[in-house]
Amino acid sequence: MPLAKVLIIEDDEVTALTLQMSLEKFGYEVLSLVNEEVSAQHKIKIYNPDIVLIDIGLKKEEGGIEVAKFIRDKMLCPFIFLTAHSDNTILAKAKKTEPFGYIVKPFDPLNLHTTIQMALYRFQEEQKRLANVDLLKTDKEHLEKLLYAKKVSDQPYVEFGEGYRHDICLGETFYRDQKIKLTKKENAFIHLLIAQLGSVVDFAQATHYVWGEEGASDNSVRTLVWRLRNKLPTDVIKNASGIGYYLEA
């Protein structure tokens, strides 16, 4: 199985063939060699490569940049620029396409291999991050539905414990009609507990909902709960030993 499937877009035949030989020695599969913009866009669609190497110049001064824009806007794969350019204007335009790396010609084969591997890794991690963001959005939508199902008749709040209520619209918590001053993360955690009133919120759910992309540890959740308990007038947050926390209904 090849390390990755690569499409080379380079208008200098010698450079293109040298790239192909170097990549094949490392175990990559070179799908095709392309030397102009229109064919490049067509073959990217057909081959769906894992990564694309693009000469910035490509027959006309900014031909490679146009191909990069096409990949960024229409396709889902990383690309690396091949460049001998020192023109700051061209490089500034190239940066705006958000490449996953640069290879300066004449290139070193080992540096080429390393840059490709780093680009593939960055791309995979970025896709994971985006997937997690989408999942978090879905989770939040689900939790909002749970919250609204628990609110008091047509009022925008949920009652819990003895004397507490949480305003769904404001995202604020009150005790006997007095607002409790909480941080954004503390209110988010209360929000989560209320949405699952009667059920345990485990550490994974808490870190995913409250911290999102920032990430956090179980100890971060414990610290958050400790601070919350010091601010809440009564001991309404209960432990589910080794699992997580729940609210007293």
d(CA 65, CA 57): 8
- Fold observed for domain 5-124: Rossmann fold (3.40.50)
Q: Which residues pair with 79 in a beta bridge?
A: 52
Mean pLDDT, residues 168-192 = 88
**218: CB partners within 8 A, 6+ apart:** 203, 207
Residues in the chain: 249
Mind listing the pLDDT tens digit for each residue in 202-211?
A: 888 888 888 8
Mind listing the pLDDT tens digit for each residue in 2-48?
A: 889 999 999 889 999 999 999 999 999 999 999 888 888 899 989 99
Give the pLDDT confidence score for residue 244 in this predicted structure: 87
Q: Which two tokens stand for residue 99?
A: 């490449």
Rounded to the nearest integer, the mean pLDDT of the chain is 84
d(CA 115, CA 100): 9
% of the chain at pLDDT higher than 90: 37
Higher pLDDT, 16 or 192: 16
Its pTM surpasses 0.85: no
Contact 103, 151 (CB under 8 A): no
Does residue 214 register a pLDDT over 60? yes
d(CA 136, CA 196): 16
Could you give the residue range(s) of every CATH 3.40.50.2300 domain in the chain?
5-124
Give the pLDDT confidence score for residue 30 in this predicted structure: 95
d(CA 35, CA 200): 60
- Fold observed for domain 135-247: Arc Repressor Mutant, subunit A (1.10.10)
Q: Is 102 helix (H, G, I), strand (E, B) or coil?
A: strand
% of the chain at pLDDT higher than 70: 86
Could you give the residue range(s) of every CATH 1.10.10.10 domain in the chain?
135-247
Contact 223, 209 (CB under 8 A): no
